[in-house]
Structure 1
Amino acid sequence: MMFLAVLALAAATPAAKPAPIDGDATRGVSGLPVPRFVSLKSDKAYLRTGPGDRYPVSWVYVRKGLPVEVIREYGIWRQIRDIGGSVGWMNKQLIAGTRTAVVTGQVRTMFAGADLQSNPVWRIEPGALVRVVLCDQAWCRVDRGGKSGYILRSQLWGVQPGETIG
């Protein structure tokens, strides 16, 4: 199962020299914490080599809801990192605050409660995209297609260690 649907593009023009990043850009001009996780707003989102439309496109993401990590802000541009480690710049209009995560590793068991002794409710494939409902301590409650349950935080990519959600 392919969990990261992307299309690499060759730059049609030589790479533009990146704009200098000043200290204000790393503080989160939006007022939101950096780093933080967000998700892609549409089925087509461009990742650029620098913070502006004049920079070449390095990736085209084709999976709405894919989680990405905002690691820097510069005006309307967000420098993001994806699950594969690719880093680039994306216009803030292409991302949403909806919390999603990707199941990592192997087939995982979802539980009825936040406890390994709780009843297993279903199993989920690695690479599956889930909506994060809440996270507290070691567990996150997630939903996929109307099925919900608890999964260990360490089995997800898209939530910060120790982050409380919900």
Structure 2
Amino acid sequence: MTFPRLIAALTMMLAAAGSQAYDFKTVGANPVILYDAPSTKGGKLFVVPRGAPLEVVLAYGEWLKVRDVNGELAWTEAKGLSARRNVIVKSANLKVRATPDDAASTVFTADKGVLLELSETAAGGWIKVRHRDGLIGYVKNSEVWGI
């Protein structure tokens, strides 16, 4: 293979990898530490509380490079994350609706930063969520982070 073809092939592979769907995980039962390198010997950057969603950017053995709700990148051990899905409300006074419709009645209102459990996706860019108090409703994908 010639050098220009090799470069073209590598570029296409990188473009394909960049177009993959986002993979989100949730911090498990215990808070996790985010490091500046994929090792417990790396510098400790943050502690992320249980239930918080993290976007998985890269996997490296037992370590994951993740992005938090603020856009910060760091490393954490994969064992501390769960496949369970939570989302974070992005704006104040988010109306959680009874059905996936802007005109639907409001079940409850959630403040910015509130964690909601993702129950299922619905048509038209809506998701079904559950508050820790047991209330269930629908919000638009664009109104939360972690999906």
TM-score higher than 0.5: yes
Letter in 2 for 1:35: Y
- Among residues 98, 108, 113, which one is paired with 1:122 in the alignment? 108
Which structure shows the bigger proportion of residues in helix conformation? 2
Q: Distance in 1 between matches of 2:134 and 2:97?
A: 15
- Normalising by structure 1, we get a TM-score of 0.72
Which structure 2 residue ranges, 5 or more long, are not aligned? 1-12
Letter in 2 for 1:79: K
* Partner residue, 1:149: 137
| CA displacement at 1:64 relative to structure 2 | 0.8
- Normalising by structure 2, we get a TM-score of 0.81
The share of aligned pairs that are identical, in percent, is: 23
| CA displacement at 1:55 relative to structure 2 | 1.3
Equivalent positions of 1:72-111 (< 5 A) are 72-111=58-97
Which structure 1 residue ranges, 5 or more long, are not aligned? 1-22, 28-32, 160-166
| CA displacement at 1:34 relative to structure 2 | 6.4
Structure 1 runs of 4+ aligned residues shifted over 2 Å read none
Bigger CA radius of gyration = 2
Q: Cα RMSD between the aligned structures?
A: 1.7
Q: How many residues align?
A: 128
1:104-147 deviation digits (Å, cap 9, x = unpaired):
12211111101112222111111110000012331011001200
* Partner residue, 1:20: none
